[in-house]
Amino acid sequence: MKNFGLLLSLIATGFAGKSLADCFSTRLGYPCCTKTTAVVYHDNDGDWGVEDNHWCGLSNQSGNCWANNLGYPCCSSNTQVIYTDNNGQWGVENNNWCGIVNGGSVQTTTTIVTPQPTQPASVDCSGKSLRSNTDLNINGRKVLVRFPNGYKGDKPVPLLINYHPISGSAAAWEYGSQTARAALNDGAVVAYMDGAVGPGGQAWNVGPCCTDADDVQYTRDFIKEITSKACVDPKRIYAAGFSMGGGMSNYAGCKLADVIAAAAPSAFDLSKEVVQSGQCTPARPFPILNFRGTSDFVVPYSGGYSNAVAGKPLTFLGAQNNFKEWAKMNGCSGSPKSNTPSNNCEMYENCNGGAKVGLCTINGGGHDEGSGSIGWNFLKQFSL
């Protein structure tokens, strides 16, 4: 988990007077179990049950040391929280990391971690038998899972979640994405998810538009399912998408940064409504590279109001404002580097947590996906 040095700058200390919650799953976006104690699935996060056909976390009433599952001891005396991630809260004893067992009254410390650690995967592939192309049913919707040539399932590989355009489908988008093709050719698993049906056909809920479905939970549930069945590295899950799918992969940075490592959206922005209402709150600095065409008449490069989906209007930030907003949310400093990672691209490289924020402008380009190889090469350098 933490094989890097203690590169922490402690900036504020205080006491948290109440005890930690017993249930780990709330920080992962899942409720605690309230009616069952039956363990249906176990991973490094803890024990999982099922209630009302949904995953829930089982409380750790016994005080067992969850950090042992990750190869670390639990703290014996020091209850100062030095670092928090999806596994739990961490302290330091004898200059080594230790896990803080839930249920104790702790002293908390706000920290800055620089740079963002890229940690090796520790995934047990045994018992994960899904190794060939398949279609999964998640919450009543289809997800097409496609494996790279030569996949053996004996070591963890990255996963790219690729969201389709509005009025499209997973089946249609399977053959349309250059980013997906680049990922498959590089040994990654690719998932094409079906959007829910809204006024404009199959689409995604990105705040003010374009369906009423909970696509954040839908994505979380799929990740939970695929990582339990196939040998996918949970720290190397990425998002991409074109048009409305680009909107969903931008929105994933706001709502799914704890489970998605980076995104490469195309031909869509965050909406002004989401940003101005404070709904974009990434759980961590989030690497993102957008592709936008200057002659895009569907989602104008300069942004603006759209009522293309009846009853669900939204206002596009515009390519440059979207770029600047992501740089601000990621705490980027200085000026973006020109022609990085390619011609007509700009990249903020001095951002919190080792994140990068980029914009590739396609001069004269229309409503296009952009370069799949540039997008995939950007994504794969990041890990949770």
Give residue 75's pLDDT.
75
Residue 166: phi and psi, rounded to 5, are -65, 145
pLDDT in tens, the chain (384 residues): 443 333 333 222 222 222 233 467 766 667 887 777 776 666 666 777 777 666 777 765 444 566 666 666 777 655 566 666 666 777 776 656 777 765 433 333 333 333 343 444 468 888 899 999 999 999 999 999 999 999 999 999 999 999 999 999 999 999 999 999 999 999 999 999 999 999 999 999 999 999 999 999 999 999 999 999 999 999 999 999 999 999 999 999 999 999 999 999 999 999 999 999 999 999 999 999 999 999 999 999 999 999 989 899 999 999 999 999 999 999 999 999 999 999 999 999 999 999 999 999 999 999 999 999 999 999 999 999
Rg (CA), the chain: 21
Residues β-bridged to residue 14: 108
DSSP 73: P
User: What length is written for the chain?
Assistant: 384
What does the buried/exposed string (b/e) look like for 29-67 if buried means 16 or more CB atoms within 10 Å of the residue's CB?
bbebbeeeeeeeeeebbbbbbeeeeebbbbbbeeeebbb
Nearest to 182 by CA among 376, 369, 370: 376
Give CA separation, 86 vs 1, 50, 92, 253, 326, in Å: 11, 20, 17, 16, 23
Give residue 76's pLDDT.
67
Give residue 249's pLDDT.
98
CB 46 within 8 A of CB 28: no
Give residue 110's pLDDT.
32
**What whole-number distance in Å separates Cα of residue 241 and Cα of residue 266?**
6
Give residue 44's pLDDT.
62
Which domains, and CATH codes, for the chain? Answer: 23-61 (3.90.1220.10), 67-101 (3.90.1220.10), 134-380 (3.40.50.1820)
Give residue 368's pLDDT.
93
Give residue 62's pLDDT.
42
The DSSP string of 82-94 is -EEETTEEEEEET
Give residue 12's pLDDT.
29
Give residue 106's pLDDT.
35
**What whole-number distance in Å separates Cα of residue 378 and Cα of residue 375?**
5
Question: For strand 288-293 and strand 262-266, is the pairing parallel, antiparallel, or unpaired?
Answer: parallel
Q: What is the pTM of this model?
A: 0.70
**Sheet with 96-99, edge to edge strand ranges:** 83-85, 88-93, 96-99
Residue whose pair of structure tokens reads 């740079």 in the numeric block: 115
What contacts 151, CB < 8 A, 6 or more positions away?
131, 132, 157, 187, 189
**What whole-number distance in Å separates Cα of residue 314 and Cα of residue 250?**
15
